[in-house]
């Protein structure tokens, strides 16, 4: 295991932990993890994962901006639930993008092109869900990260097997933390509405 692999593991774990705590610092920490991860994926010929880091960089900047605006406009910082139609769109875009990436990378000798393409495509869409503060992003991460454990096992990248195992655990924790926050926000709104009716 290289220093770069362990650095990527550390920064990426810290990113997920900070995202679960809804701390804006998750985004710059995530950017460092993205750069280090890119340096691991290219030599392993996981091209979709390497390309994913470029998208993560852009989405991290978007998330950083969105969460900054949310601090000024509280209505934009609230955790929300996905609609059924949004789930259909996320799954359609994720699967379509994954098949397209898998087909594309199969022409360049990529290892596990379809699995790599699927996890990449769904990860892009799911990072957007995090930036938009959809609770269900954590369910998607649990599935994606579980599949990634298999990919990294097959590619013999032990540090990333550990990383994605930790991601699964942190995603379960993040789901619970965001659910509590959503419930507390709902309770506060109900109490405010009840007080308004009394006055």
Question: Residues 27-66: pLDDT tens digits?
Answer: 999 999 999 999 998 998 877 778 889 999 999 999 999 8
**What value does the mean pLDDT take over residues 115-140?**
94
Domain locations along the chain: 3-73+129-198
Residue 87 CA, distance from chain mean position: 16
Cβ-based neighbours of 7, under 8 Å, separated by 6 or more: 36
- Mean predicted lDDT score pLDDT of the chain: 88
pLDDT tens digits, residue range 82-94? 999 999 999 999 9
Name the range with the highest mean pLDDT among 49-58, 72-81, 173-182. 173-182
Residue 78: which pLDDT band, with cuts at 50, 70 and 90? confident
């Amino acid at each position: 295991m290289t220093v770069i692999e362990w650095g990527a593991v550390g920064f990426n774990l810290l990113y997920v932990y900070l995202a679960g705590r809804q701390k804006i610092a998750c985004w710059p920490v995530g950017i460092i993890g993205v750069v280090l991860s890119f340096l691991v994926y290219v030599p392993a010929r996981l091209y979709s994962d390497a390309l994913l880091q470029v998208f993560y960089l852009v989405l991290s900047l978007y998330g950083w901006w969105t969460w900054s605006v949310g601090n000024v406009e509280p209505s934009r910082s609230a955790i929300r639930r996905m609609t059924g139609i949004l789930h259909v769109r996320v799954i359609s875009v994720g699967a379509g993008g994954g098949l397209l990436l898998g087909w594309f990378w199969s022409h360049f000798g990529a290892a596990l092109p379809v699995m790599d393409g699927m996890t990449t495509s769904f990860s892009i869409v799911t990072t957007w869900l995090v930036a938009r503060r959809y609770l269900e992003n954590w369910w998607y991460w649990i599935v994606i990260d579980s599949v990634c454990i298999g990919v990294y096992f097959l590619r013999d990248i032990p540090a990333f097997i550990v990383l994605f195992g930790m991601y699964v655990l942190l995603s379960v924790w993040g789901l619970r933390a965001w659910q509590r926050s959503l419930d507390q926000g709902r309770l506060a709104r109900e109490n405010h509405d009840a007080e308004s009716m009394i006055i």
